[in-house]
Amino acid sequence: MNLELKGLQARHPSAPASAAPALQALDLQVAAGEQVAIIGPSGAGKTTLLQVLACAQRPTQGVVLLGGQDPWQLPAGGLRQLRGQLFLAPQVPPLPPRQRVVTSVLAGRLPAMGGWASLRSLFYPADIPAAYQALVHFDLADKLFERVDRLSGGERQRVGLARALLAPASLWLIDEPLSALDPMRARMAMGALVGLARERQATLVATLHQVDMALAHFDRIIGLREGRQLFDLPARQVSPERLAHLYDQHEHELRGDALPFAAELSPASPAVMHCR
């Protein structure tokens, strides 16, 4: 799926009317099957951009075209069909805590399933080998039948990524996929995600705090700051000077001082929720 943004402006739904837009006059084109990393300091508008691309947030100005279609000009059925071709992995995946990992991973297929099949899959997982293979890519195969609330934060994050491999989507939108991972697992997860996107010719747009990971795994890097695009370059042309300008007054983020990968090593906090 190819993407095109023209003069995009978007405001966070919870922001006051007097606040500056989270995205301002953004123009962007991504070819079908291309993998792109979005970097920039906190508050740059990276997550808002993914929400707009996922048709979860309507822009306040400008045009969004996904596969040549403006989602907000489609009838309800058309919008629902288009959303079925998108996969959004938020930084904190919304996994029911008492659900088994196998069920959570297979939920990636729900957009292509009917109501009865979706309900049945909650109790009788339909393709356990496929879930197992998806988890292998993220070093989680041994957690196949574990309950989600017994996983660490980093393990839950990797379960959320494994869902992408089963989703019937041609566009993967991945928000900060490494924020709860230690460096070794971060490299493994990023390599698997980008490699499989290329193999399947899926369009991948990922936001990353880890600049070194973006430069190592992506051919194209887009730098956002305060809702504006500062550069859109091949990774080899992203110089230390450009990065210093992008992260001016946010140097600790560029250095990675605040990466919270300790969540990978600590047990998950109990969650109050009642579902299988």
pLDDT (tens digit per residue) in 55-110:
999 999 999 999 999 999 999 999 999 999 999 999 999 899 999 999 999 998 87
157: its two tokens: 């994050």
- Output the pLDDT for position 162: 96
72: its two tokens: 């907000």
Asked whether residue 22 carries a pLDDT value surpassing 80, the answer given is yes
Contact yes or no for 37/175 (Cβ under 8 A): no
Which pLDDT band holds residue 274 (cuts at 50, 70, 90)? very low
- Output the pLDDT for position 167: 93
Task: Give whole-number Cα distances, 75 to 58, 70, 79, 101, in Å.
Answer: 15, 11, 6, 35
Residues 6+ apart with CB under 8 A from 71: 55, 64, 79, 82, 83
Percent of the chain having pLDDT more than 90?
Answer: 76
Task: Give whole-number Cα distances, 186 to 15, 45, 231, 252, in Å.
Answer: 32, 23, 25, 19
* Better pLDDT: 264 or 144: 144
Q: What angle do CA 146, 148, 151 make, to 5 degrees?
A: 80
**Digit-coded pLDDT (tens) for 204-253:** 999 999 999 999 999 999 999 999 999 999 999 999 999 999 999 998 89
Distance CA 194, CA 202 (A): 9
**Digit-coded pLDDT (tens) for 144-199:** 999 999 999 999 999 999 999 999 999 999 999 998 899 999 999 999 999 999 99
- Output the pLDDT for position 119: 62
Which pLDDT band holds residue 121 (cuts at 50, 70, 90)? low
- Output the pLDDT for position 115: 64
Which pLDDT band holds residue 16 (cuts at 50, 70, 90)? confident
